[in-house]
Chains A and B, each alone.
Chain A
Amino acid sequence: MTTPSSAQSSDLTSGAPDATDATADGAIVRTENLTKTYQMGPSELTVLREVSIDIKQGEYIAIMGPSGSGKSTLLNLLGCLDRPTTGRYLLGGQDISLVDDDELSAIRGAKIGFIFQSYNLIHQLNIIENIEVPMIYQNFSESASEARARELAELVGLGDRLRHRTTELSGGQQQRVAIARALANDPLIILGDEPTGNLDSKSGKEILDLLDSLHQQGKTLIIVTHDDDVSLRAQRVFHVLDGRIERIDVHDN
């Protein structure tokens, strides 16, 4: 688990994990024959079939595919929101398939930053409080988490409206809050589920620029998208079809 002290380091987005977080060949995300089957009454529905991928520290990955292809399921598995039916998933060298619900929660809180299509902010809370949410569950003190939330809000360009309600913000601004929140615990990987899906092209571009800058600072990004703009910025694009990785495009940017 990321300790608060390391999370509070002055370099807010230092993505470099300890060497122990990666597997021997440097992959921080590794799946081996990841399969997910849902029981639908008497019949079984396999939405993910033996997906094996490796993602290295600092990579920018886009996952594309038509709806129903299994890309959301893949993202849920990578995000430790769900467990595979069979296969293994190693995140930072730890086998996720074997841990219990509490530990899974702890891993989500410490190692994964989520960015959602619909932002998923808690509207009863103001901007600072929203950014603080993951830190509550990592035992930050109130003063420490507030200080860090402030810095993160500055970082995503919202330093001037910290006490605003999230409902007063535009979609782009809300997504910035969500990104700041995703960075709160200095996660190993940042998972985006169509982060620009609800945004107009201008705000979408701004968000993608922000993600680019995170990538340049060494963050590992895995983004599910329909948006070609996103896939163009990514280093590798996984095309998912019928529960399999159909092909992988590699960009040299």
Chain B
Amino acid sequence: MFLLRLKRTVKLGAKSLWMHRLRSTLTALGIVFGVCSVVAMLAIGEGAGRDAQDQIARLGAQNIIIKSIKPPRSDSAKTGTNRYEAYGLSYADVRRIRDTVPHIQEVVPKRLITLQATYRNRSVTVQVIGTASWYGEVHPMRLLRGRFLAYMDEKRQQKAAIVDQQVVDQLFAVDDPIDTNIKLKGDYFTVVGLVAPSGAAGPAGQDAARLKTGGRAGDAAVGNIYVPLSTFKTCFEGSRERVELEELTIKVDSTESVLLIRDALEVLLRRFHKNKDYQIIVPLELLRQAARTKRIFNIVLGSIAAISLLVGGIGIMNIMLATVSERTREIGIRRALGARRSDIIIQFLSETLLLTLTGGLLGIALGLIVPIMVTHFGDMPTVITGQSLIMAFGISAAIGITFGLYPAYRAAHMDPIESLRHE
């Protein structure tokens, strides 16, 4: 009995919306755009956050990175007679870390230099990384052809080089890079291996590379070339060298001990580097920070979207109040003819709900398109989660009820006699 009546009352609401098509459409538009912006904003926020997290995750959540930095100026200025005073990490530090700090799986030393690589008449700017054969243990990389650096390369100071695909693309064109010789600052290196570029292709990947190599990659470096540390030392180190090692990557046995080991390293390094010429970076911390940032980002974007939804909701309430007062007489007639307050409430509430729910569905459809466009034209990653869709739909339903209830209540509580007299 009740369901029958409910069905007819809802139908009535739909009919009256249909009779005021333009008004209904305009009213629903507020919700359409509101829901659309919720879905789109969340997708963009989620995408941006996940992108940053991916980049940091590529640094390795189990890793701790220590970088050499120029010590604060005040110290060296006082004592500094020598402009080329040495600073930063040294091989001694590597030994000390290996010997004294527990839970460490690998320590990868790294030297960096940006220079011109030449092959035949072609030359590009590359980032040369002098490192150890176990580099891959800490920075997972995909070997495409040949081999990576070996122990003997290091021991014999072989002029062996591993190039990444980006270098190959720029330097070799159609030639097979393996076993060719490339010239790096006066020395010829034999290419023994080819690896996939670190990180994804495109600008995001380069950002990752820049982050990984301590922001030194420079805008011009197209890719990475890996050479043995010992060779690096002999070939690229000038007499006026100031830094022994640019970077150390330390792999810890589990993510739980990362922060603990960071503290241990800090204590150890502080003893030998009184001038604070190092910097410890913990990707795990960055990752957590990025997650926090993402959450804040989502909250900010979400609240902007929520405000637009609120505005849409207020618009709906406004129209519904106008509709109620416009239809005062109809309400009076219905009440006189036996409609209960609940019937009137259902009639108007169902109108609002129909408006907001169809608005919500349209908004979701539109909100699915926007992130695709953003990804396509704006070159920004976006991630649409089912959660956000459910939330958007839930919000539009909630708005329908919240902003529909008051007008419906007003309609239901009008005095039938007064309403019938209303012109």
Contacts and interface: CB of A to CB of B under 8 A. Distances in A.
A134 B337 contact: yes
Contact of B417 (A81, A109, A138): A81
B4 A139 contact: yes
A101 B345 CA distance: 14
Contact of A137 (B332, B343, B416): B343
Nearest to A141: B4
Nearest to A73: B417
Contacts of A105: 335, 338-341, 343
Nearest to A110: B338
Majority DSSP secondary structure for residues of B touching A: helix
A141 B3 CA distance: 11
A102 B342 contact: yes
The interface centre, meaning the residue of B1, B4, B5, B336 with most chain A CB atoms within 10 A of its CB, is: B336
Contacts, number: 70
Interface in B323-344: 329-330, 332-343
Contact of B341 (A81, A102, A122): A102
A88 interface: no
A137 B338 contact: yes
A108 interface: yes
A106 B339 CA distance: 7
Interface in B64-81: none
A76 B15 CA distance: 31
Nearest to B423: A118
A169 interface: no
The interface centre, meaning the residue of A105, A124, A134 with most chain B CB atoms within 10 A of its CB, is: A105
A244 interface: no
Contacts of B329: 120
Contacts of B335: 105, 108
B333 A81 contact: no
A181 B338 CA distance: 12
Contacts of A79: 336
A131 to B, nearest CB: 10
A82 interface: yes
B161 to A, nearest CB: 82
A133 B337 contact: yes
Nearest to A130: B333
Nearest to A111: B338
A142 interface: yes
Given A120-B329, A122-B333, A133-B333, A139 B1 contact: yes
A181 B336 CA distance: 12
A163 to B, nearest CB: 14
A248 interface: no
Interface of A: 76, 79, 81-82, 101-102, 105-106, 108-110, 114, 116, 120-122, 124, 133-134, 136-139, 141-142, 181, 185
Interface of B: 1-2, 4-5, 8-9, 12, 15-16, 19, 329-330, 332-343, 416-417, 420
